[in-house]
Amino acid sequence: MKSKIKELESVVGQKQMKIDFQEKMIELAEKEYCVDIKKKFRFQTLLRYWEERTRLKIKIVRVVFNSGNQ
């Protein structure tokens, strides 16, 4: 049991180091390129979601109305 706890603590520590590294890289890139990467990523993700949702709605409408015209 204790060895499993140590193993899991090690995994958590490695994951935290990876997160810290990624956050630092984003911070450095934001400073270097004067871009809010996190904010831009969230906006682009939301934009892609809405575009895909709109495309899906258009496809559904076409299927519904085109099936009645045949």
The tens digit of pLDDT for each residue in 3-62 reads 989 999 999 999 999 999 999 998 998 899 887 877 777 777 777 877 887 777 777 767
SS3 track for 12-67: HHHHHHHHHHHHHHHHHHHHHHCCCHHHHHHHHHHHHHHHHHHHHHHHHHHHHHHH
pTM over 0.75: no
Position 70 pLDDT exceeds 60:
no
